[in-house]
Amino acid sequence: MEMDDKELMTVMFHYRDSKIGTCLMESLTEMMQSGILVFAQSVDIFNQFDKGHLHSYNYCQSVWRFDLQDAVLTNEEGKQNVPRISILALDSKAEAKAKALQL
């Protein structure tokens, strides 16, 4: 079933308003403020997020797990197509809160 442009835009913005999209936006903002990324790079990342194939995700004990299908990984040497990859990420806000409670 093909989606028209209006349906596709609705789906894209639905994901941007999801917890994952919100966390991505917060992370990109922090990276821009610290000088790691410039605005154009953040836009490119969000555009890739819109086109991505997120198979599943989970958040448990301050750890995010993302399972992606047909991902494209990019680095200084070029791009590599990956049929399936899992990404684990620690929630830095939860880590900071845990450290503060230990003091």
Q: Compute and round to an integer the Cα radius of gyration of the chain.
A: 16
The tens-digit pLDDT sequence of the chain (103 residues) is 444 555 544 544 556 667 777 788 888 888 889 999 888 888 888 777 766 677 787 888 888 888 888 888 777 788 888 889 888 887 777 666 666 666 5
Contact 52, 74 (CB under 8 A): no
Total domains present in the chain: 2
Rounded CA gap, 24 and 19, in Å? 9
The pTM assigned to this predicted structure is: 0.50
Q: What is the CATH number of the domain that holds 85?
A: 2.30.18.10
Same domain, 9 and 39: yes
Task: Tell whether 14 and 57 lie within a shared domain.
Answer: no
Per-residue confidence (pLDDT) for residue 6, from 0 to 100: 54
58 and 38 both lie in a single domain: no
Would you state the pLDDT for residue 47?
A: 78
Both 72 and 103 in one domain: the answer is: yes
Q: Identify the domain containing residue 81 by its residue range.
A: 53-103
Which pLDDT score is estimated for 35? 92
